[in-house]
């Protein structure tokens, strides 16, 4: 048996066992085991549609009339003010359609809508380090089936609007939705390579 054949057989065996090498360590893929529950990542993630001053006038009016972070209408949580990563503040504040406010401390917040199609870290099935179109460090991610369906619905219904990407409670980016997104996506922002590596390790813990 050639060495090449031996390597291929060994790799096939690893796949059958559900073992992959990731981030310098070995992770067991147990999705097929109905009793297995993946530990939650050590960081939080959320995707929300950013409020638009003209399209969401009633929600914006409620939000700007209160000092609270949560915006409630008829006992329903409809929006929330979310802090912005300082490194992304200038770009986000420079967009006229995105609703923002400055606190007395100088911190910037974005008004994000809360909806049933929102996606969070519980919908992730895998993450890995990547680079965006500009060559900056970012996260590549795959959503589970349910999360992918909600992301598809969220992006289909909100073309042309901005989607706030929230990592560890801060908006890292708010890109304009120009295409629909399904199960695979990039999580972008002004990340350093060290931050991306930490997030990947925090997922595969």
Question: Could you tell me the domains of the chain?
Answer: 1-37 (no CATH), 39-205 (3.30.1360.200)
Residue with tokens 């060495």: 3
Q: Which residue has the higher pLDDT, 40 or 87?
A: 87
Average pLDDT over residues 168-186: 94
> Residue 97: its pLDDT value, please?
87
Taking only the tens place, the pLDDT of each residue in 120-155 is: 999 999 999 999 889 999 999 999 999 999 999 999
Token digits for 43? 């960081």
Average pLDDT over residues 149-174: 95
Helix (H, G, I), strand (E, B) or coil at 109: strand
The residues, any chain, with a CB within 8 Å of residue 113's CB and separated by 6 or more, are: 48, 49, 50, 51, 56, 59, 78, 79
Cβ atoms < 10 Å from Cβ of 174: 25
Token digits for 139? 């996260």
> Residue 110: its pLDDT value, please?
97
């Amino acid at each position: 048996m050639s060495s090449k054949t031996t390597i291929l057989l060994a790799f096939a065996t690893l796949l059958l066992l559900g073992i992959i090498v990731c981030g310098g360590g070995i992770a067991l893929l147990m999705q097929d085991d109905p009793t297995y529950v993946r530990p939650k990542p050590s960081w939080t993630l959320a995707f929300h549609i950013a409020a638009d001053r003209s399209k969401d006038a009633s929600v914006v009016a409620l939000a700007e009339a209160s000092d609270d972070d949560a915006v409630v209408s008829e006992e329903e949580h409809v929006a929330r003010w979310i802090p912005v990563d300082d490194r992304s503040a200038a770009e986000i504040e420079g967009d006229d359609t995105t609703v923002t406010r400055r606190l007395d401390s100088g911190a910037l917040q974005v008004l994000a809508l809360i909806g049933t199609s929102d996606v969070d870290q519980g919908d992730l099935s895998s993450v890995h380090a990547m680079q965006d179109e500009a060559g900056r460090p970012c996260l590549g991610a795959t959503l589970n089936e349910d999360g992918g369906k909600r992301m598809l619905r969220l992006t289909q219904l909100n073309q042309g609007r901005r989607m706030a990407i929230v990592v560890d409670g801060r908006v890292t980016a708010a890109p304009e939705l120009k295409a629909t997104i399904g199960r695979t996506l990039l999580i972008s922002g002004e990340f350093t390579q060290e931050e991306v590596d930490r997030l990947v390790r925090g997922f595969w813990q």
